[in-house]
Structure 1
Amino acid sequence: MRNGAGEARLKFIKPLEPVLVLEPPVSDDWLHEIKFDGFRVQLILDWAGARAFTKNGHDWSKRFWPVIGAAEKLPAKSFILDGEMIAPDPDGRPNFHQMHSRMAWNAELLAFVAFDILHLDGWDLRSLPAIERKAMLWDLVKPADGIIQYSQHVEGDGAEFYAAVDKMGLEGMVSKRRGSPYHSGPSDIWVKTKCWEIGDFELLGIKREPGKPPQGIMARGGKYAGSATVALTSEMRERLWHRVRKGRAPPPGLPKAISKAEWLKPGITARVRYLRGEPKLRHATVQDVREE
């Protein structure tokens, strides 16, 4: 517990939300960081101790108790840090599938990767350039190789950084204008570029709307996985239309919005290109189909 009980406590600040782009920025005006696959978290320290908030402002301090303890040992009286809570594998890569298990049973195996600082010892830093905020963040959390880590960055060479992130099998990258302030809500002063995956999905049906390309309704492991644009040759499309089962009811567990699709006979596999790290298919296209 810290002194100053008469002072107002620091409040949660709505985080800046990067805009999704399909190609990384290439000018030297940008900083580039790895996009960590975890939970966006805001870490706040004031006179009453440290707290951890989700991106929607929910207090999850009890779930992240080891990080809370580490935050209270940092050399500052107060701060607000923006970052990502991750479940790192032994090689340091974030493993999103381990997040819930570790929060419940092994919270000491979580790590907080700090990538911005919004407040420090009574000063609101949001109007400062991003590159200056990162320098102040490093001074606070260094050596930043334990439970509270530092998000390293490179300046410029966005395409080269993207290629390296993709080769490592990571989810993607976040790029920030080096001179930008920090604004709450969506903003193109930060952009995220995700890497692509190609995989096989069960093609359940086709949804056609006037003026729009056909959308394939996909499943994986028997569960709805989203939709993908059917960017195929006319011959391949004709093969699909012949597989339509007239009057077939939609498979269970699908959103009501796609209940009017044309459902196909079982046994069609689609090869799909899609953005890595999304809970459902996004910006996805069907590359090929095969019939069993």
Structure 2
Amino acid sequence: MQTERLKFIKPMKPLLVREPPVSDDWLHEIKYDGFRVQLILDWAGARAFTRNEHDWSRRFWPVVDAAEKLKAKSFILDGEMIAPEPDGRPNFLQMHSRMAWNAELLAYVAFDILYLDGEDLRAVPLIERKAKLWQLVKPATGIIQYSQHVEGGGADFYEAAQRMGLEGIVSKRRESPYKSGATDAWVKTKSPNYLRRERKRAA
């Protein structure tokens, strides 16, 4: 019997840029305003870790329970824990309240898969990893959701995100492997309104 559990993998971090890339070899996703979380399932059950490897499984127990119902023996998912509004938009101000009192109103938006049923997927191109991720979490209408993407059209997607009042977008090279740490294969473009709020908080 396997005794060693799957281990946390340091997340891949997008670099902040002023404008999104425009070439067609990039995927673009919404930048969800929440907590970066890695979901791990192995022979002993599921766990949820923050980006700094803190085990928050108890705080995110409904998502952990849902992860154990997915049709796989083991996986490592990368994603964002959010407090969605009725229209699906994340409300970061509600995160702490829901974590304390209404964890069932949280949602986990999965955007990458690093490991699945004995196979390390980090060297697999992103577009292929996302296809495997979709097969695992579809139809993704419950507490575990799927981060949809568009290919190309970064400027238009960024403008649409701003009009919706979102934090911004994350752009990723479609053929990129998963590498821990900061990398220019993933970049984030934040809405000017969010950047101003961050500067005020830091002042």
Q: TM-score, normalised by structure 1?
A: 0.68
The structure-2 alpha-carbon separation of the partners of 1:186 and 1:66, relative to structure 1 and needing over 3 Å to count, comes to same
Higher relative contact order (CA closer than 8 Å, sequence separation 6+): 2
Structure 1 residue 276, shift from structure 2 partner: 5.5
2:87 matches 1:103 = no
The structure-2 alpha-carbon separation of the partners of 1:143 and 1:38, relative to structure 1 and needing over 3 Å to count, comes to same
Alignment equivalent of 2:182, drawn from 186, 193, 205: 186
Alignment equivalent of 1:85, drawn from 81, 86, 91: 81
Structure 1 residue 279, shift from structure 2 partner: 6.7
Alignment equivalent of 2:71, drawn from 40, 65, 75: 75
Trace 1:41-190 onto structure 2 (pairs within 5 A): 41-190=37-186
Structure 1 residue 8, shift from structure 2 partner: 1.4
Distance in 2 (alpha carbons) for counterparts of 1:57 and 1:276 = 29
Distance in 1 (alpha carbons) for counterparts of 2:189 and 2:130 = 20
Distance in 2 (alpha carbons) for counterparts of 1:98 and 1:35 = 17
Structure 2 gaps, min length 5: none
Distance in 2 (alpha carbons) for counterparts of 1:276 and 1:62 = 34
Structure 1 residue 132, shift from structure 2 partner: 0.3
**Structure 1 counterpart of 2:195, one-letter code:** L
* Contact 1:45–1:79, Cα closer than 8 Å, also in 2: yes
Distance in 2 (alpha carbons) for counterparts of 1:280 and 1:129 = 38
Q: Which has the higher strand share?
A: 1
What SS is found at the alignment partner of 1:275?
helix
What SS is found at the alignment partner of 1:278?
helix
Distance in 1 (alpha carbons) for counterparts of 2:85 and 2:79 = 18
Structure 1 residue 145, shift from structure 2 partner: 1.4
Q: Which has the higher helix share?
A: 2
**Structure 2 counterpart of 1:99, one-letter code:** M
Distance in 1 (alpha carbons) for counterparts of 2:91 and 2:179 = 29
Please say which structure displays the higher CA radius of gyration: 1
Distance in 1 (alpha carbons) for counterparts of 2:63 and 2:199 = 26
Matching residue of 1:268 = none
Structure 1 residue 280, shift from structure 2 partner: 4.2
**Structure 1 counterpart of 2:136, one-letter code:** L
Structure 1 residue 79, shift from structure 2 partner: 0.1
What SS is found at the alignment partner of 1:99?
helix
**Structure 2 counterpart of 1:159, one-letter code:** A
Matching residue of 1:35 = 31
Distance in 2 (alpha carbons) for counterparts of 1:276 and 1:49 = 41
Q: Identity rate of aligned residues, in percent? A: 78
* Contact 1:275–1:281, Cα closer than 8 Å, also in 2: no
Matching residue of 1:278 = 198
The structure-2 alpha-carbon separation of the partners of 1:158 and 1:276, relative to structure 1 and needing over 3 Å to count, comes to farther
Distance in 2 (alpha carbons) for counterparts of 1:90 and 1:150 = 17
* Contact 1:9–1:47, Cα closer than 8 Å, also in 2: yes
* Contact 1:37–1:277, Cα closer than 8 Å, also in 2: no
Q: TM-score, normalised by structure 2?
A: 0.97
Structure 1 gaps, min length 5: 198-273, 285-292
What SS is found at the alignment partner of 2:198?
coil
Distance in 1 (alpha carbons) for counterparts of 2:162 and 2:171 = 15
The structure-2 alpha-carbon separation of the partners of 1:167 and 1:71, relative to structure 1 and needing over 3 Å to count, comes to same
Structure 1 residue 106, shift from structure 2 partner: 0.2
Structure 1 residue 162, shift from structure 2 partner: 0.6
